[in-house]
C-alpha cells in the first residue's frame, strides 16, 4: 500500500524485447511487474514457448510479435524503436528498458518516483542507472575495474520527438535528444544482470557477441573481458538494495 494515497503517481511502463527467454521470464514478471504500471513487450521470433507465456500475462498492455526468421538477426535499435513507439499508445510519463535476464531492485518504484521529482526540479529528461553483473552467487556482483562502473541510459521521459540511437547492439534506450552535455545524469537506481552468474553463462555470452560483432563495430574493446578474471573483486549487494 502506498503511503501517499492522494499523490498522483507518474505512469511508468517497462519495455521488454525477448527471444527464447522462457527460463528467465517467470522471474522477470515476478520482479518487474509489481514495480511498474504495465509492460510493453516485443517477441523477436521466439520458438520455445516464450510467446505464449508472455501473451498470458495480464501486466502486458501490448505484445508486438515479430515473425521467426532464418537466419535470425538481432537488432537492438529496431526493437527499441518499435517498443518506444508502441508505448505512446498507452500514455506513459516515463519508460524503462529491462531485458528478460535483468532485475530491478525491490525498492525501485519509490526511488524512481523520487528521481522523477528530481528530474522535474533540475530539468532532466533521462537517466543512467547503475548496472551490477551478478557473479557466482545471486547476492554478489563483480566490482573491479569497468565492472564497478557499469551503467546504462535506460530510464527516460516518454517524448514523441524521441531521437533514437541506431546501433545494432549496445545502443541507448534513452533519447539522444535528452542528453545533457553529451551524456546522461545518473539516477540512484540499481539494475542487476543475471546472465553472468555462472562461468558457463559468461563463456556463452562472450561467444555470442563475438559471433554477432566479429569486427567490434559496436564495442571497440571487444568481448574478451567478459571471461577475464584478472583483478576479480566481488562485493555483496548492499542491504536494502536487493532484487
> Cβ distance 70 to 45 under 8 Å?
no
pTM: 0.92
At 38-68, the pLDDT tens digits run 999 999 999 999 999 999 999 999 999 998 8
> Cβ distance 43 to 63 under 8 Å?
yes
The number of residues making up the chain comes to: 243
**Grid cell in block for residue 156:** 527516460
Q: Residue 7: its pLDDT value, please?
A: 56
- The DSSP annotation for 146-211 comes to GGGG-EEEEEEE--TT------SSS--SS-GGG-BTTB-PEEEEEEEE-TTSSHHHHHHHHHHHHH
The CA distance from 104 to 156, in Å, is: 15
- Residue 38, C-beta contacts closer than 8 angstroms, at least 6 positions apart: 13, 14, 59, 60, 61, 90
Q: How many CB atoms lie within 10 A of CB 200?
A: 8
Least confident of 4-8, 100-104, 150-154, 201-205: 4-8
Q: What is the mean pLDDT of the chain?
A: 94
> Cβ distance 15 to 95 under 8 Å?
yes
Which domains does the chain possess?
12-236 (3.90.550)
Amino acid at each position: 500500500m502506498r503511503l501517499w494515497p492522494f499523490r498522483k503517481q507518474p505512469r511508468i511502463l517497462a519495455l521488454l524485447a525477448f527471444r527464447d527467454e522462457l527460463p528467465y521470464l517467470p522471474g522477470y514478471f515476478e520482479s518487474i511487474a509489481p514495480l511498474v504500471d504495465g509492460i510493453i513487450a516485443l517477441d523477436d521470433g521466439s520458438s520455445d514457448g516464450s510467446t505464449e507465456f508472455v501473451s498470458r500475462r495480464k501486466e502486458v498492455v501490448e505484445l508486438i510479435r515479430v515473425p521467426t526468421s532464418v537466419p535470425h538477426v538481432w537488432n537492438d535499435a529496431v526493437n527499441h524503436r518499435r517498443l518506444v513507439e508502441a508505448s505512446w499508445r498507452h500514455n506513459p510519463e516515463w519508460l524503462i528498458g529491462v531485458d528478460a535476464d535483468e532485475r530491478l531492485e525491490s525498492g525501485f518504484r519509490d526511488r524512481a518516483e523520487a528521481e522523477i521529482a528530481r528530474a522535474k526540479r533540475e530539468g532532466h529528461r533521462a537517466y543512467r542507472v547503475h548496472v551490477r553483473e551478478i557473479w557466482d552467487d545471486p547476492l554478489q556482483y563483480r566490482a573491479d575495474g569497468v565492472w564497478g562502473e557499469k551503467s546504462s541510459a535506460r530510464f527516460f521521459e516518454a517524448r514523441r520527438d524521441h531521437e533514437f540511437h541506431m546501433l545494432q547492439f549496445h545502443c541507448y534506450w534513452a533519447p539522444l535528444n535528452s542528453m545533457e552535455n553529451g551524456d546522461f545524469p545518473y539516477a540512484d537506481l540499481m539494475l542487476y544482470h543475471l546472465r553472468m552468474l555462472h562461468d558457463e553463462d559468461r563463456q556463452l555470452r562472450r561467444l555470442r557477441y563475438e559471433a554477432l560483432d566479429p569486427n567490434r563495430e559496436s564495442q571497440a574493446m571487444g568481448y574478451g573481458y567478459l571471461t577475464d578474471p584478472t583483478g576479480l573483486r566481488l562485493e555483496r549487494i548492499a542491504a536494502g538494495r536487493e532484487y
